[in-house]
Copies of this chain bind each other. A is one copy, B any other.
Amino acid sequence: MDPRNLLTALRDQKPLVHCITNYVAMNVAANVVLAAGASPAMVHAEEEIAEFTPICGALTINIGTLSAGWAASMKTAVRVANDHNVPWVLDPVAHFISQYRKGVAQDLLALRPAIVRGNASEILALAGEAGEGKGADSGDAVEAAENAARTLASAYGTVVAVTGPVDFVTDGTQTAKVSGGSAIMPSVTALGCSQTALMGAYAASGPAFDAALATLAHFKVAGTKAAEKAAGPGSFQVHFLDALTATQPSHLASAIA
């Protein structure tokens, strides 16, 4: 499927995306999914998952403000998703900051997400390689992260998206790069987390590699547009939501290499 057609499919189908995400990102993620054209639902109670996850088009898991109760819900939701062939996306936010978080991230990865999205540091650490912390956008680190992404993708049968100044996505065989966006984006909180939620909406609308690629392109195109109007991180966030809505399927190709 041409990844550019996925945005058309997403807007036609308005898939319901079950998001278990962090407190910082919840509102932004819901607005990003709505602005792009799909339907988010933030639900985390174990009492609801068996009934709710199966009726969703996708599940997204983000470990940003992790705690034991939420980790349990995440694992339950993933198992239900797997049982019902609901694709799910893993965002292993800063999983290298504690042994506890590393453990939860590895447990989730072993449950085989359709897509993993992270920055270079997160993907390197997930593959068991060094490279945490600053400097992860240097040339060597980018190449190392791309290799780590290929390794992870092949080992777990998943698609891995590495986001940064230039995004990289692979299923272990196919690869693509996505350019654009703005240097302001790292100064706005929860955009990466929100991209994971949107990746769920795309994963509900088409194959995982195409879905990850289309999401990356949608963000880069909207980020470029928003930066043209933004005077700083506050106005960027406003224009970015507007631009997610304004982005048309035909715009996505320009970001993909």
Contacts and interface: CB of A to CB of B under 8 A. Distances in A.
Interface string A53-92: 0010000000011111100000000000000000000000
A101 B48 contact: yes
Given A34-B189, A35-B187, A66-B48, A241 B234 contact: yes
A115 B216 CA distance: 42
Contacts of A240: 234
Interface of chain A, main secondary structure: helix
B68 A47 contact: yes
A97 B39 CA distance: 14
A189 B27 contact: yes
B100 A187 contact: no
Interface of A: 22-28, 30-31, 34-35, 40-45, 47-48, 51-52, 55, 64-69, 94, 97-101, 186-190, 230-235, 237-246
> How many copies of the chain does the oligomer comprise?
3
Contact of A99 (B51, B64, B98): B51
A67 B44 contact: yes
A245 B99 contact: no
Contact of A42 (B24, B187, B234, B244): B24
Contact of A23 (B26, B94, B100, B231): B26
A187 B41 CA distance: 13
B42 A22 contact: yes
Contact of A30 (B55, B190, B230): B190
